[in-house]
Amino acid sequence: MRFGRLGIWYYATLLMKSDTMVFNNVGSTDRIIRALAGGSLAVFELTGNLGNFEQYLHFFAIGMAVWLLGTGMTGNCPTYTLMGVSTCSNMFDEEE
C-alpha cells in the first residue's frame, strides 16, 4: 500500500489520538498474579498434572493459560475494557 506524504501524516495523526490509543488497564499486582497463574496452569497442563480433569479441560486450560499470560505481559485486558474496569493506580482522566 502506497501512502503519499499527506497520507502518512494523516495516518500518524489518527494513531496519536487518545481514542485510538490503547492504555494499560491491568495494574502491576494484577499482572504478576495473571502471569504466575497462567504460567503455572500451562505447566500443570503440559506435564499432565491435572489428573482426571485433564481430558475434559485440556483446550480450556491451554486457552486460559495463553489468555492470562498474554494479558499479564501486555498490561491490557479486553474484558476489562468492555466492563470499564481498571486496576492501574494511575488512570488518565479523559476530558471531552
Number of domains the chain contains: 1
Distance between CA 39 and CA 68 in Å, rounded?
8
Buried b vs exposed e over 3-25: b needs ≥16 C-beta within 10 Å? Answer: eeeeeeeeeeeeeeeeeeeeebb
Q: What is the pLDDT of residues 4-47, one digit of tens each?
A: 555 555 555 544 554 545 678 888 899 999 999 999 988 888 88
Tell if the pTM clears 0.85, that is, is over it.
Answer: no
Residue with cell 488518565: 92
Q: Kindly state whether residue 14 falls inside one of the protein's structural domains.
A: no
Domain range holding 56? Answer: 23-83
The fraction of the chain above a pLDDT of 90, given in percent, is 21
Q: Kindly state whether residue 57 falls inside one of the protein's structural domains.
A: yes
